[in-house]
C-alpha cells in the first residue's frame, strides 16, 4: 500500500509541491476506493429515496445486470493495466454468444461453454499477435478486427438470430444460487481469479511493469511480446465467457447483439480507477464500477427517468468521476501558489531530494 | 492503390464508370471525408474525438428543426455552431479537467447522443417540401464542401502558426508548452473545428433524407478514424496527411460501391474494411521495423 506516500514523483507533469512526508494521498485513495464508496453511497441514498429499490428481487436484478459487462471488464482490466486496450470485444461477444447458443442447441451446455470461451481465446490470440508481433498499435489492430469480426458474424449467421431455451443452458443466465444470480457468481469468481493472477503471479507483475514503462520492462527482462499476446488472450477468454452468459440470459443471440459494448466495457474499467495510460488499476474498482453502472440504470428506471436522459446521466457520471482528480490537483496547485507567497521557514522537499 | 481498385471494378462492372454512379461514390466518400478531415487535425494534435457521430446527429436535428422557423441559411449556421460548441466542451474537459481525450469524448458520445434523442423526443423530424435545404446534399455540393475543407485545413496546417502549433502539440505537448505554445488554446481550437466538421457532415446526411433523426450516424466515429489511419496519419500525433484522408475515404467508398454493384452481400463490406485497415497498417509497421533494424545494423 502506497497510500501514505512520501513524494509526488509518480506524475512527472506535476510540479514538485511541498507535500510533507506522510501526508495522505487523496488521489490514490480516490483511485483505489472512490468507486466503491460512491457505489455504496448511491445504494444508501437509493434505498432511502426510491421505493422498490431495497428489496431482494431488485438487488438480484441489479447484480445480474452488472455481470454481463463485468465479466468482459475483468479481462479488459488486464489489457488497460498493460497499457493497451481491445475495441473488438463487442464484435467478439456477438460472435461468441451466437456460437454458444447454436452449440448448446445441438450439443449441450458444456460444449457450448468450451467453444465460446475457446473462440474468444483464439480471437484474442489473433489480436495479440497483431499487436505484439506485427506491432500494429492496439487501437488500430483491434479496430480492424472489430470490423472484420462484425462482418464475419453477419456472414456466418446470415443475419439471423439463434434461439435456444433448453433448461440447463438458460440456467446459467437466469437462475439463482443462494439468492445470488448465477451470472453474478460467475462474475465474482472471474474477478477473484483475475485479482489472484494480477496480484500473485509473475504474469500479473509483468503486466503492471509493461503498463508503467514498456521500454524499461523490456530492458529488465520482462517478456513483453509474450505477455502482451497473453493479455489479449485473457480479454478474449473472459469475453467469450460473458457472451455465453448473455446468450443464456436472453435465450438467444444474433449479430448486432449489443452495439457500443466495447465502449461500455472500457468505460467500466476506467470508472473503476484503472489508468488508461496503464500501469495502475485494481480489480475491486472494476467490480464496483460494473455494479455502479447497473445500479444507476436500475435507480433511474425505478424513478421513471426517460431512457434518453439515462444516457446523459451515465456520460456525466463517467466525466465527473474522472475529472475529480484533475480538479483536486488544480485546487491544490492554486492553494500551494497562495501559500508559497507567505515566506516559509522550512524548504519544501523536492522529489529528487528524498 | 485507389486507381487499381477503381480499374478492377470498372472492368468487372460496366455500370461502375457511369457519371451517376461516380457521383454516388463521391457523395458517400465526402460525408466520411469531412469528419475524417476534422479527425485528422485531432489525431495530429495527439488526441481523438469519439463524439463525432453523436455531434453529427445532434447538429442535424437542431438544423432540421430550425429550418421552418428561421430559414435555411441561419439554421445551417445554428447547426454548425452547435457542433463547434460540443467540440469546445470536449476541449474544455480535456484541457481544464485533465480527463484523457479518449474518455472525455467517450463520455460526450453518450451525453450528446442522449441530448439528440431528448431534443427530438426519439421521433423523426420531417421536412416536407423544403427543397432549399436539399441543396446541401444534391449534386456536387458535398464533394465541393469536402474539397474546400481539405484545402482550408491543408493551408492551415502548412502555412499558419496555428497549424504548426497543432503539429508541435501533437509531437510533444510538454516541449511545445516549454517553448511557449499555448497548448490548451490550440486544443480548444482543434476540438471546435472537429465538432464543426462533424456537424457539417451531419447536416449533409440529414439533408439527403430531409429528416432529423437522433440515431443518425451511429458508429461514424470509428469509420472516420479508420479512414484517417488508412490515409497514413499516424496515431502517435505530430503528423497529418490531408490528402491521405481524402484518398482513404474515397478508397473505402469505391470498395463499398463496387461490392454493391457486383451483388456482394453488404455483410462483406465490414470484412473488407477490417482487412484493408489491418493490411495497410501491417505493411507500414513491417516497413518501419525493417528500417529500424537497418539503422541498428549500420550503427
Rounded to the nearest angstrom, the minimum Cα separation between A156 and chain B is 10
Rounded to the nearest angstrom, the minimum Cα separation between B99 and chain A is 6
Name the A residues in 125-184 with CB < 8 Å from any B CB: 130, 134-137, 139-141, 143-152, 154-155, 159
Whether A346 has a pLDDT exceeding 50, the answer reads no
Q: Which residue has the higher pLDDT, A232 or A47?
A: A232
Please state, rounded to an integer, the average pLDDT across all residues of chain B. 86
State whether B268 and A151 contact (CB < 8 Å). Answer: yes
Rounded to the nearest angstrom, the minimum Cα separation between A288 and chain B is 18
User: Percentage of chain A with pLDDT > 70?
Assistant: 88
Residue A221 confidence (pLDDT): 87
* Average of per-residue pLDDT across A81-90: 90
In a domain, B63, yes or no: yes
In a domain, B236, yes or no: yes
State whether B93 and A323 contact (CB < 8 Å). Answer: yes
Question: For the whole model, what pTM was predicted?
Answer: 0.82
Q: Which of A315, A324, A325 to mutate to test the interface with B (most CBs of B within 10 A)?
A: A315
Of A338-352, B65-79, B231-245, the poorest mean pLDDT is in A338-352
Nearest to A315 among B108, B235, B274 (CB): B108
Nearest CA in chain B to A153: B267
Rounded to the nearest angstrom, the minimum Cα separation between A332 and chain B is 13
In a domain, B285, yes or no: yes
Q: Which of B94, B104, B107 to mutate to test the interface with A (most CBs of A within 10 A)?
A: B107
In a domain, B271, yes or no: yes
**How many independent structural domains does chain B possess?**
1
Say if residues A35 and A289 touch (Cβ distance below 8 Å): yes
CATH number at residue B282: 1.10.3470
Per-range mean pLDDT, top range of A12-21, A186-195, A211-220? A186-195
Residue A70 confidence (pLDDT): 93
User: B23 pLDDT band (50/70/90 cuts)?
Assistant: confident
Phi, psi of B5 (to 5 degrees): -60, -45
Rounded to the nearest angstrom, the minimum Cα separation between A76 and chain B is 15
In a domain, B2, yes or no: no
* Average of per-residue pLDDT across B235-244: 87
pLDDT digits (tens, 9 = 90+) for B44-59: 998 889 899 999 999 9
Q: Following DSSP, what letter does each residue of B4-48 receive, concatenated?
A: HHHHHHHHH-TTTTSHHHHHHHHHHHHHHHHHHHHHHHHHHTT--
* Average of per-residue pLDDT across A135-152: 86
Task: Give the burial class of B68: count Cβ atoms within 10 A of its Cβ; 0-12 exposed, 13-18 middle, 19 or more buried.
Answer: middle
Task: Tell me how far CA of residue B166 lies from CA of A310, B87, B169, in angstroms.
Answer: 36, 16, 5
Any idea what the Cα angle at residue A142 is, between residues A239 and B110, rounded to 5°? 75
Rounded to the nearest angstrom, the minimum Cα separation between A154 and chain B is 6
In a domain, B163, yes or no: yes
In a domain, B116, yes or no: yes
Question: Where on the phi/psi map is residue B94: left (φ > 0), alpha (ψ -120 to 50), or beta?
Answer: alpha
State whether B98 and A326 contact (CB < 8 Å). Answer: yes
Whether A105 has a pLDDT exceeding 80, the answer reads yes
Can you list the alpha helix ranges (DSSP code H) found in chain B? 2-12, 19-44, 52-70, 72-96, 101-120, 131-134, 141-159, 161-171, 173-178, 183-209, 220-230, 242-261, 267-298
Residue A1 confidence (pLDDT): 39
Full domain range(s) for residue B57:
16-295
In a domain, B115, yes or no: yes
Rounded to the nearest angstrom, the minimum Cα separation between A167 and chain B is 33
State whether B277 and A330 contact (CB < 8 Å). Answer: no
Whether A78 has a pLDDT exceeding 80, the answer reads yes
State whether B277 and A140 contact (CB < 8 Å). Answer: yes
Q: Which of A148, A289, A316, A324 to mutate to test the interface with B (most CBs of B within 10 A)?
A: A148
User: A5 pLDDT band (50/70/90 cuts)?
Assistant: very low
**Chain B environment of A87 (Cβ under 8 Å):** 222
Query: How many other CB atoms are found less than 10 A from the CB of residue A239?
Result: 36
Whether A12 has a pLDDT exceeding 60, the answer reads no
C-alpha cell at B192: 471546435
Task: Tell me how far CA of residue A276 lies from CA of A80, A85, A294, B61, B167, in angstroms.
Answer: 6, 9, 22, 33, 23
Residue A7 confidence (pLDDT): 41
**Chain A environment of B114 (Cβ under 8 Å):** 308-312, 315
- Percentages helix, strand, coil for chain A, rounded to the nearest 5? 70, 5, 25
Q: Which of B46, B90, B98 to mutate to test the interface with A (most CBs of A within 10 A)?
A: B98
Residue A150 confidence (pLDDT): 87
Whether A179 has a pLDDT exceeding 90, the answer reads no
State whether B93 and A319 contact (CB < 8 Å). Answer: yes
Nearest CA in chain A to B265: A155
pLDDT digits (tens, 9 = 90+) for A24-47: 677 777 777 878 888 888 888 888
State whether B108 and A319 contact (CB < 8 Å). Answer: yes
State whether A318 and B106 contact (CB < 8 Å). Answer: yes
User: A340 pLDDT band (50/70/90 cuts)?
Assistant: low
Q: Which of A311, A320, A321, A330 to mutate to test the interface with B (most CBs of B within 10 A)?
A: A311
Amino acid at each position: 500500500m502506497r497510500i501514505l506516500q512520501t513524494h509526488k514523483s509518480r506524475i512527472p507533469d506535476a510540479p514538485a509541491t511541498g507535500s510533507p512526508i506522510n501526508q495522505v494521498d487523496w488521489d490514490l485513495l480516490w483511485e483505489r476506493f472512490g468507486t466503491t464508496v460512491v457505489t455504496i453511497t448511491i445504494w444508501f441514498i437509493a434505498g432511502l429515496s426510491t421505493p422498490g429499490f431495497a428489496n431482494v428481487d431488485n438487488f438480484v436484478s441489479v447484480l445480474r445486470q452488472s455481470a454481463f459487462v463485468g465479466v468482459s471488464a475483468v479481462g479488459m482490466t488486464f489489457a488497460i493495466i498493460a497499457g493497451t486496450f481491445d475495441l473488438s470485444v463487442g464484435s467478439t461477444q456477438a460472435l461468441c454468444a451466437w456460437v454458444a447458443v447454436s452449440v448448446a442447441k445441438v450439443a449441450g451446455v458444456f460444449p457450448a461453454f468450451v467453444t465460446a470461451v475457446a473462440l474468444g481465446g483464439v480471437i484474442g490470440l489473433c489480436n495479440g499477435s497483431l499487436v505484439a508481433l506485427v506491432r500494429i498499435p492496439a487501437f488500430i489492430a483491434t479496430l480492424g478486427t472489430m470490423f472484420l469480426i462484425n462482418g464475419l458474424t453477419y456472414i456466418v449467421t446470415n443475419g439471423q438470430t439463434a434461439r435456444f431455451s433448453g433448461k440447463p443452458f438458460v440456467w446459467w443466465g437466469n437462475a439463482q444460487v443462494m439468492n445470488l444470480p448465477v451470472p453474478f457468481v460467475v462474475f465474482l469468481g472471474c474477478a477473484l481469479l483475475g485479482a489472484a493472477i494480477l496480484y500473485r503471479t509473475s504474469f500479473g507483475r509483468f503486466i503492471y511493469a509493461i503498463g508503467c514503462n514498456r521500454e524499461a520492462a523490456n530492458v529488465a527482462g520482462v517478456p513483453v511480446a509474450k505477455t502482451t499476446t497473453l493479455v489479449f488472450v485473457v480479454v478474449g477468454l473472459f469475453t467469450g465467457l460473458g457472451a455465453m452468459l448473455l446468450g443464456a440470459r436472453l435465450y438467444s443471440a444474433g449479430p448486432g447483439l449489443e452495439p457500443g459494448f466495447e465502449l461500455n466495457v472500457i468505460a467500466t474499467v476506467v470508472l473503476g480507477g484503472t489508468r488508461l495510460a496503464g500501469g495502475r488499476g485494481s480489480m475491486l474498482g472494476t467490480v464496483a464500477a460494473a455494479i455502479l453502472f447497473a445500479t444507476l440504470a436500475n435507480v433511474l428506471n425505478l424513478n421513471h427517468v426517460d431512457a434518453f436522459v439515462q444516457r446523459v446521466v451515465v456520460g456525466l457520471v463517467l466525466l465527473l468521476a474522472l475529472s475529480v482528480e484533475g480538479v483536486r490537483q488544480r485546487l491544490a496547485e492554486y492553494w500551494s501558489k497562495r501559500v508559497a507567497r507567505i515566506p516559509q521557514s522550512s524548504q519544501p522537499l523536492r522529489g529528487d531530494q528524498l | 492503390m485507389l486507381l487499381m481498385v477503381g480499374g478492377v471494378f470498372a472492368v468487372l462492372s460496366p455500370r461502375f464508370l457511369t457519371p451517376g454512379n461516380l457521383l454516388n461514390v463521391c457523395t458517400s466518400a465526402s460525408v466520411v471525408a469531412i469528419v475524417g478531415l476534422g479527425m485528422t487535425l485531432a489525431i495530429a494534435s495527439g488526441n481523438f474525438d469519439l463524439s463525432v457521430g453523436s455531434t453529427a446527429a445532434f447538429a442535424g436535428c437542431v438544423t432540421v428543426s430550425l429550418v421552418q422557423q428561421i430559414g435555411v441559411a441561419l439554421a445551417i449556421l445554428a447547426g454548425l455552431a452547435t457542433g463547434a460548441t460540443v467540440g469546445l466542451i470536449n476541449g474544455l474537459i480535456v484541457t481544464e479537467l485533465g480527463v484523457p481525450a479518449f474518455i472525455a469524448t467517450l463520455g460526450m458520445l453518450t451525453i450528446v447522443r442522449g441530448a439528440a434523442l431528448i431534443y427530438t423526443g426519439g421521433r423523426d423530424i420531417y421536412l416536407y417540401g423544403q427543397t432549399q435545404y436539399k441543396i446541401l446534399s444534391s449534386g456536387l455540393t458535398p464533394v465541393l464542401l469536402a474539397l474546400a475543407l481539405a484545402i482550408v485545413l491543408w493551408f492551415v496546417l502548412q502555412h499558419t502558426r496555428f497549424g504548426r502549433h497543432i503539429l508541435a502539440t501533437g509531437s510533444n505537448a510538454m516541449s511545445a508548452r516549454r517553448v511557449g505554445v499555448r497548448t490548451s488554446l490550440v486544443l480548444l481550437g482543434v476540438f471546435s473545428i472537429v465538432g464543426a466538421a462533424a456537424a457539417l457532415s451531419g447536416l449533409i446526411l440529414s439533408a439527403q433524407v430531409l429528416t432529423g433523426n437522433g440515431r443518425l450516424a451511429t458508429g461514424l466515429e470509428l469509420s472516420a478514424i479508420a479512414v484517417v489511419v488508412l490515409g497514413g496519419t499516424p496515431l502517435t500525433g505530430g503528423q497529418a496527411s490531408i490528402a491521405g484522408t481524402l484518398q482513404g475515404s474515397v478508397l473505402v467508398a469505391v470498395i463499398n460501391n463496387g461490392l454493391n454493384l457486383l451483388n456482394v452481400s453488404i455483410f462483406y463490406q465490414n470484412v473488407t474494411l477490417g482487412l484493408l485497415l489491418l493490411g495497410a497498417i501491417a505493411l507500414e509497421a513491417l516497413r518501419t521495423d525493417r528500417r529500424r533494424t537497418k539503422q541498428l545494423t549500420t550503427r
